[in-house]
Structure 1
């Protein structure tokens, strides 16, 4: 695993030196609801998305498929307010304690992305849809 070159960061950004970025310059970020403890989702962050998350106080991730930054909730309105940001012992995974706005973190309209459970040799849906995604994304938020 190759670390990002952070040697030229100004002193106020030296905390970025603590992270171990993968070969694509990314680090996994797990979002957990601060009040319930529910793991909501996992996404990726690059240096810019992490800096913006810290600066803005709302989760900003890196979309590998779109190759662009995306603010959680930019089209659904279901933003994530950052309450705590933690780095694991290896420096290669972030844990975001968030206040999930709207009660929906998953693009499928569920509370969280981990709605399928392995039961009797197959993946079964065990969490209900809170709101139809067609209604969420038709709002034009």
Structure 2
């Protein structure tokens, strides 16, 4: 396993993702799986990020949400710059192995815009209640 460093925290890890977990993942061409982040208490979907094996390993072992930034090509831990920390409560793999569900206790807004969720600002369809 290649050792990697986070530009934000300087942390270095050398421990690979558990092979039993890694073997269940279906990664995209870039080696990533989608990570859907959900509030533990309200079940509200907060955001979607991307994880490779290292980001998932860090999430599973540190109790904080880690992601791979496709635009910056670096690891980042949610909350290090914004203060909007995600404390991980559970992590589940979906039936196809191509996404993980991370339930968290969220402090502050989960979206980089400061909104509680990344899905508040631009609804494409909303269903009116029926009587």
TM over 0.5: yes
- The gaps in structure 2 that reach 5 residues or longer are 1-14, 127-131
Distance 2:17 2:38 in 1: 29
* Displacement after TM superposition at 1:13 (Å): 3.5
**2:77 aligned residue:** 71
Q: 1:60 aligns with which of 62, 66, 70?
A: 66
- The gaps in structure 1 that reach 5 residues or longer are 1-8, 121-141
Bigger CA radius of gyration: 1
Q: Are 1:105 and 2:110 matched, yes or no?
A: yes
Aligned residue for 1:18, secondary structure, equals coil
Distance 1:48 1:36 in 2: 28
Q: TM-score, normalised by structure 1?
A: 0.74
Higher relative contact order (CA 8 A, sep 6+): 2
Q: TM-score, normalised by structure 2?
A: 0.79
Root-mean-square deviation (CA, aligned residues, Å) is 2.0
Aligned residue for 1:118, secondary structure, equals coil
**Which of the pair is proportionally richer in helix?**
1
Aligned residue for 2:43, secondary structure, equals coil
**1:137 aligned residue:** none
Distance 2:18 2:70 in 1: 27
Q: 1:32 aligns with which of 3, 15, 38?
A: 38
Runs of 4+ in 1 over 4 A off after TM superposition: 9-12
Equivalenced residue count is 111
Distance 1:10 1:64 in 2: 21
